[in-house]
Structure 1
Amino acid sequence: MITWKSKLDSLIRLAVERSSVTNEVRIGQGLLSDVGVVARKVTSSPKALVVADARGFDAAGPAVVAALRDEGFSADTLILPADPLPVASVGEAEPIRATLAADAGIFPVSVGSGVINDCVKYAAFRTDRRYMAVATAASMDGYTSAGASLARDGFKVTIPTRAPVAMIADLDVITAAPPEMNAWGYGDLAGKVPAGGDWILAETMGAEPIDELAWSLVQEDLAVWLEGPEGIASGDKDAIARLFTGLTAVGFAMEAHGSSRPASGAEHQIAHLWEMQGLEHNGRKVPHGAAVAVGCVASLALFDWILEQDFDGFDVPATLDAAPGLDAREAELARAIHEPRTAAMARIELRAKHVERDIHEIRLNRLRSNWRAVRKRLETQLVRREDMVSKLRRAGAPVSAAEIGVSPRHLLETLRAAAFIRRRYTIFDFLHDIGSTEAAIASVVPRLAGVSALEVRK
């Protein structure tokens, strides 16, 4: 059986060797005391700034500060409040950037999970310096990536930055994190299943070829990383270590590819749209991984619908004749997205990916000629919606829109709007290309929401 330790010794070590930025990754128990030693290896600065929110600092901050001081660093702290939770935005990162900009000798150390890591990563990049990440939960895949997923002017984007020079994950800390945080990480990792399907569709239609190195880092062992989901809910150290190792591999895949394509597809478009809308449930911001888990289930439902179709006799001329032009697509966008700033940015994305009839025809002919092989490849890659629902439930992650405060009507509107916010080719663009967006959405939303089609429209 493949163990997370064997993959740490092979896959992750090789990824570090290939990385142009990250020099060291340590995953194991009792590693907080290593922070100072590792920091001393990767920086000559005498000053460290530990950045965390209050919850992350409580989990690991004092030990990190002590380890840095033991190695001769002067270690100051910048602690953000945890209630309300920090927001993944350029605005939230600005005070960190300003603090770093005021002193070129500061070496930043992020202590936390997704939002804190991305904010520090962005601030370090903007002030042209390296940083170190200390993980406190297996809640997302961005620790080792070269992008910061932040809202800028209200629009969620992945901003090119630099990966950390070093990353430490103490499994004692990560296992002790609130179970729901690690469940969110399981949801984020589960999203790589339909994201892989999206990339297969993109390659099939000639929109974007698969990068074999990045693909293998994410997909080759994905089924192994997702094994034993009940261990995530129960706090089993091996299960959580396996999850974290998989998330780390995904981060390196994004760095190697130069974008988030290996890790992000339609499921993230759904999640990012909700994040841009400021989605809250029970008075709390819905976490990224929770939104991705629900987006993953929705995306897999759309893939299930596609796999039920027969494209061998697909009518290419009729589909081309019925396809809306760019003006009509922009009108669809205006009906789907009402917030002005989001709509303006989405319009840029739509124009970047819109193709005229000649390219559209090439895509459809490729599909008709290759559908049987593509179907087989998709069936190998994907997990059926009901099977993924079972895995996510056992991990403790949400699976339905209602669990994160999204009504059936809101879900319908989301699936119509999400296609417009990224130029990346996903199942949404495939459905547009085959002229079946409304048919597919109308079929899956009632099943996802557990209501009748009539109730969805209320």
Structure 2
Amino acid sequence: MDWKDYLQKEKRCSCGKNHICDIEEIIIEEGGIKRLPEILKKHKYEKLCVVCDLHTEQAAGLAVYEELEKAGYAFKKVVYQDEELVPDEEALIYLFTQVPNDCDLIIAVGSGTINDLCRYVSYKMKIDYYIVGTAPSMDGYASNVSPLIIRHLKITYEARPARVIIGDLDIISKAPLHMIAAGVGDILGKYVCLTDWQLSHIVNGEYICPEVMELVRKSIKKVAENAGRAAHRDKEAICAIMEGLVLSGIAMSYIGNSRPASGSEHHMSHYWEMMFLLDGQPDPLHGTKVGIGTVMAIRLYEMLKENREKLFPLEAPSFDPGLWEEKIKEAYGPAAPGVLELEKKTGKNSDKEVLRRRAAFQAHEEEIFSVIDQLPEAEDIIEILKSMEAPYYPEQINVSKEVFARGIYYAKDLRDRFGLLQILFDLNLQEEFTNRLIQEIY
């Protein structure tokens, strides 16, 4: 794939805005790591810090060390010893203390968590970073934001993308199958993201960019068409999936936030992740959770279509802030203060806002359902995930009925971002749809 049209150019878009992706090079090819020294020489970096964890050091870190040593580079190694690394305050502080003050480039070796940590730390330290990918497992390689766990709450922070992304096909094609499947799940979630985004544009007048949406659709198409062959480690298919993941990240960079790539399916996934961490339970890969969240979100959209004829009229809204606050404390535990603060700032659940959105929904009902009709069926997503031996129901990753239900009710309160879950709240459908879905899948 020729990346020149996407990189280091300010693009005047038909949406009226200028888009830019601040990435210098993207290399997705066999033997890609061997090109690292020539790229470093071209950009004149000298003080290097290579960041891995126990797993990514074995997957690609040793190969990076070898290439750097052969080229005569001195570098510091930072290797997280955590068996399961979490991008929280402790991990951030460790990296801040380990990166030398005179470092001019961080080389992150890994996928999701390592990338998020290095992206944020390099941004705050005002130094560049490269990423050497170890698995096609998530779409954050080209992203300009870092989702981190701070005070038990999943928060997305501003950052900047890697200067160079290297996806060595000899390495990423050997990634565990569940990691490849996670990348597929992360991209399948874009079906829901784009639907949520379009509905917010219709209901709230939120800015939307048709060209960025088309870029995300291109990403989805690449991944969906190659998922089956990727399960057999076909390098051409793995390459297409990695390219699709990077395209999704470029879309985020163009917009300046995660809106094109994160919707209701991600909110449910983030809520489940927070509950796993709070309970001290193993947390499945981000894309694994997103794939399941996608199946659930599309099924909820299907229920919305099934109920279309009886959506209106509705009883007047009666939001009880005190009761809601108690429910949030139950649902989020120690992470509740951040959620409560967000509602204070936005008032998105207030009766006034609900009535405004209901009126907009009714006024544009035909347009809204024409957008929803473009979604694939939940069964189609299940079949793709099955082809990769990936889970597709929450119970398969130990999400309890209670946590699942709370996710539908309260995951929307993680972000001020309108979508499916807010629609269910606005139209008094949370209880009915949650109970129906639990009966179907548990």
TM-score (norm 2): 0.91
Range with greater deviation from structure 2 (355-364 or 296-305): 355-364
Secondary structure of 1:141's partner? coil
Are 1:90 and 1:152, in contact at CA under 8 Å, matched by a contact in 2? Answer: yes
Alpha-carbon distance in 2 for matches of 1:168, 1:61: 13
Q: Which residue of 1 aligns with 2:64?
A: 64
Shift of residue 358 of structure 1? 4.7
Alpha-carbon distance in 1 for matches of 2:137, 2:88: 18
Q: Which residue of 2 aligns with 1:36?
A: 37
Relative to structure 1, is the Cα distance of residues 383 and 68 closer, same or farther in structure 2, using a 3 angstrom cutoff?
same
Range with greater deviation from structure 2 (282-291 or 404-413): 282-291
Q: Which residue of 1 aligns with 2:367?
A: 373
Secondary structure of 1:22's partner? coil
Relative to structure 1, is the Cα distance of residues 350 and 76 closer, same or farther in structure 2, using a 3 angstrom cutoff?
same
Residue number among 380, 388, 401 corresponding to 2:381 in the alignment:
388
Q: Structure 1 residue 26 and structure 2 residue 27: aligned?
A: yes
Are 1:305 and 1:444, in contact at CA under 8 Å, matched by a contact in 2? Answer: no
Are 1:201 and 1:430, in contact at CA under 8 Å, matched by a contact in 2? Answer: no
Q: Which residue of 2 aligns with 1:296?
A: 294
Q: Which residue of 2 aligns with 1:456?
A: none
Q: Could you list the per-position Cα deviations for residues 182-236 of structure 1 after superposition, in whole angstroms to 9, with x for gaps in the alignment?
A: 1111111111111112112211211523223332221245233212422232212
Q: Structure 1 residue 269 and structure 2 residue 270: aligned?
A: no
Alpha-carbon distance in 1 for matches of 2:280, 2:98: 34
Letter of the 2:34 counterpart: S
Pairwise mapping of residues 39-438 of structure 1 onto structure 2 (< 5 A)?
39-42=40-43, 44-81=44-81, 84-100=83-99, 102-206=100-204, 208-279=206-277, 284-310=282-308, 314-315=312-313, 318-319=314-315, 321-337=316-332, 339-340=333-334, 342-355=335-348, 356-380=350-374, 382-438=375-431
Q: Could you list the per-position Cα deviations for residues 324-379 of structure 1 after superposition, in whole angstroms to 9, with x for gaps in the alignment?
A: 25445434423433x13x11111122234424555433322222222122212221
Alpha-carbon distance in 1 for matches of 2:354, 2:275: 32
Alpha-carbon distance in 2 for matches of 1:136, 1:375: 40
Q: Could you list the per-position Cα deviations for residues 399-426 of structure 1 after superposition, in whole angstroms to 9, with x for gaps in the alignment?
A: 1112111222332233223122221112
Shift of residue 257 of structure 1? 0.9
Relative to structure 1, is the Cα distance of residues 363 and 280 closer, same or farther in structure 2, using a 3 angstrom cutoff?
closer
Secondary structure of 2:373's partner? helix
Relative to structure 1, is the Cα distance of residues 312 and 200 closer, same or farther in structure 2, using a 3 angstrom cutoff?
farther
Give percent identity, aligned residues only: 26
Are 1:97 and 1:126, in contact at CA under 8 Å, matched by a contact in 2? Answer: no
Q: Structure 1 residue 14 and structure 2 residue 13: aligned?
A: no
Range with greater deviation from structure 2 (356-365 or 413-422): 356-365
Relative to structure 1, is the Cα distance of residues 332 and 292 closer, same or farther in structure 2, using a 3 angstrom cutoff?
same
Shift of residue 162 of structure 1? 0.9
Secondary structure of 2:179's partner? helix
Relative to structure 1, is the Cα distance of residues 60 and 224 closer, same or farther in structure 2, using a 3 angstrom cutoff?
closer
Relative to structure 1, is the Cα distance of residues 242 and 79 closer, same or farther in structure 2, using a 3 angstrom cutoff?
same
Shift of residue 172 of structure 1? 1.1
TM-score (norm 1): 0.88
Q: Which runs of 5+ in 1 are unaligned?
A: 1-7, 450-458
Secondary structure of 1:167's partner? strand
Are 2:272 and 2:403, in contact at CA under 8 Å, matched by a contact in 1? Answer: no
Range with greater deviation from structure 2 (234-243 or 280-289): 280-289
Q: Could you list the per-position Cα deviations for residues 221-268 of structure 1 after superposition, in whole angstroms to 9, with x for gaps in the alignment?
A: 523321242223221212211111111011111111111111111111
Alpha-carbon distance in 2 for matches of 1:155, 1:191: 21
Are 1:194 and 1:299, in contact at CA under 8 Å, matched by a contact in 2? Answer: yes
Range with greater deviation from structure 2 (143-152 or 364-373): 364-373
